[in-house]
Amino acid sequence: MEQHNDNFRSRVGVLLALAGSAIGLGNLWRFPYLLGTNGGAAFIIIYLFFVFIICLPIMFSEFTIGRRSGANAFRAFRKLSPGSKWNFMGIFVVLTPILVVSFYSVVGGWTIDYMVKAATGAFSGTSQQLGSLFSDTISSPLGPIIYMLVFLVLSCLVLLAGVEKGIERFSKVMMPALFVMIVIIAIRSVTLKGAGAGLSFLFNPDFSKVTSQTFMDALGQAFFSLSLGCGTVITYASYVAKKESIVGISAQTAIADTTFALLAGVAIMPAVFSFGISPSQGPGLVFVTLPYIFSHLPLGNLLGVIFFFVLFIAAITSAISLIEVAVAYVKEEFKVNRVVAVIISFVVVAVIGALCSLSQGNVLHIELLGKNLFDLLDSASANVLMPLGGLFSVIFVGWILKKPNVSDELTSSGAVRLKKAAIDIIFFLIKYIAPVAIIVIMLGAWL
């Protein structure tokens, strides 16, 4: 099938773009706080198991859907299975990333705000004062929306430059820099006095904190962190050359993402323990605890700027991949050029994002199911929408697309060597293990 005219150019470019999508606030913000509330190493073990047994087969499936169709996420299902009942999936995988990126951009805005705060020496006082600084920051009506818009405009500038000249080039520069910076912060953290307790929290499992919700949290986090179940991998895969290995690229992306999450844990937990702070305080961990720690370290302001810059870069490469799903959809389905598609996507995301941001304050406090809009989108995307998107993708690939097509795609029509046994195992995971596991874990958490 034909491909688009603007594609990824090199294998490294594909890898860094996918890693850019995967590595994000999920690794630096969500992973550490989930780890903190779910028993540290015990959570990591369950998480790793899910990444490699359930999520990697899902990534193979989404990669297959995207590359084989060579179309945007909406069109991909129609193209591979014309006239089928699967058209709803096309809509699902375009809507989910729009919802995700709406709250994601709000947090992206906070990262810029906190970079400015670190640079201007705003981190001082007790941890309680820093707690109120954070809640005041995010609940004020205008500030967070302006920062969110800055974040979105910057993301859209990269998108305007296109797949190869924008997304690929940006990822190639930013992702290596990101790794270097997180390693520097991790080294600083483990050399603090009393850092050992943080490391043992990270690497000695405490299974007493594990509940059925832990499994759901770990699965949701694996989906969120690997950018699965929401059209992103499908869209990026449609820009990947036929000769590249789906299995190789997916596995490397998962390894890069997991390594980065662990590095983030090593960067954050030892510092938290060294200051005698509880790791289990939830989403405020990165925005309250860390500023408190920075305010007590020599060169703390500089470290603060670097840390929030890391957070910002990680977030923007992910936001770009989320918005690109909408851009590709609008561009191809409404036959407009990239500029128009980017502008339309920007407006939609900015409006929902502004509502999310306002839902945290008093001016327009929108609540649904007992949660404000922001919290609802955060938990619903990882724990409901993305697992469902992933579930449908593996069912589609395992049961509709059929094995010969999948095997043809996994081997790049013979260009990539894969043992027959390997294909059999992968297909078995896609067709039976992944769907059953997702259903069991979701039911376990809900019932």
Give me the residues that bind ligand PHE (CB under 6 A), please.
Answer: 21-22, 24-27, 97, 100, 224-225, 227, 230, 232, 318, 321-322
390 vs 435, beta carbon nearer ligand PHE: 390
Q: How far apart are CB 97 and ligand PHE at their closest, in Å?
A: 6
104 vs 134, beta carbon nearer ligand PHE: 104
Give me 406's structure tokens: 């999948």
Which residue, among 301, 280, 277, has the nearest Cα to 289 in the 3D structure?
Answer: 277
137 vs 321, beta carbon nearer ligand PHE: 321
26 vs 387, beta carbon nearer ligand PHE: 26
97 vs 398, beta carbon nearer ligand PHE: 97
130 vs 310, beta carbon nearer ligand PHE: 310
Sign (positive or negative) of CA dihedral 189, 52, 100, 174: positive
Q: How far apart are CB 219 and ligand PHE at their closest, in Å?
A: 14
131 vs 387, beta carbon nearer ligand PHE: 387
Q: H/E element holding 100?
A: helix 87-119
Residues 6+ apart with CB under 8 A from 428: none
Q: How far apart are CB 335 and ligand PHE at their closest, in Å?
A: 26
Are residues 158 and 327 in contact, defined by beta-carbon separation less than 8 angstroms? no
b vs e for 226-258, b when ≥16 Cβ sit within 10 Å of the residue's Cβ? bbbbbbbbbbbbbbbeeebbbbebbebbbebbb
Q: How far apart are CB 321 and ligand PHE at their closest, in Å?
A: 5
31 vs 147, beta carbon nearer ligand PHE: 31
28 vs 138, beta carbon nearer ligand PHE: 28
- SS3 for 23? coil
Residues 6+ apart with CB under 8 A from 132: none
Which residue, among 277, 301, 287, has the nearest Cα to 136 in the 3D structure?
Answer: 287
Q: Specify the length of the chain in residues.
A: 447
Q: How far apart are CB 328 and ligand PHE at their closest, in Å?
A: 14
Cα atoms in the Cβ-side hemisphere of radius 13 Å centred on 374:
21
| DSSP letter, residue 204 | S
CA distance 432 to 394: 9
Q: How far apart are CB 27 and ligand PHE at their closest, in Å?
A: 5
Hey, what's the torsion of the CAs at 49, 53, 56, 58, to 10 degrees?
-120
Q: How far apart are CB 23 and ligand PHE at their closest, in Å?
A: 6
Strands (E), 29-148: none
Are residues 64 and 247 in contact, defined by beta-carbon separation less than 8 angstroms? no
Alpha carbon of residue 22 to chain centroid: 5
Residues 6+ apart with CB under 8 A from 316: 108, 151, 154, 155, 158, 174
Q: How far apart are CB 10 and ligand PHE at their closest, in Å?
A: 21
Residues 6+ apart with CB under 8 A from 289: 127, 272, 275, 277, 281
Q: How far apart are CB 301 and ligand PHE at their closest, in Å?
A: 26
Q: How far apart are CB 261 and ligand PHE at their closest, in Å?
A: 8
Give me 197's structure tokens: 């307790």
Q: How far apart are CB 103 and ligand PHE at their closest, in Å?
A: 11
Which residue, among 142, 148, 141, has the nearest Cα to 365 in the 3D structure?
Answer: 141
**Residue the block writes with tokens 């099938």:** 1
37 vs 321, beta carbon nearer ligand PHE: 321
- SS3 for 279? coil
105 vs 301, beta carbon nearer ligand PHE: 105
227 vs 258, beta carbon nearer ligand PHE: 227
- In this structure, how many other beta carbons lie within 10 angstroms of the beta carbon of residue 150? 15
Q: How far apart are CB 325 and ligand PHE at their closest, in Å?
A: 8
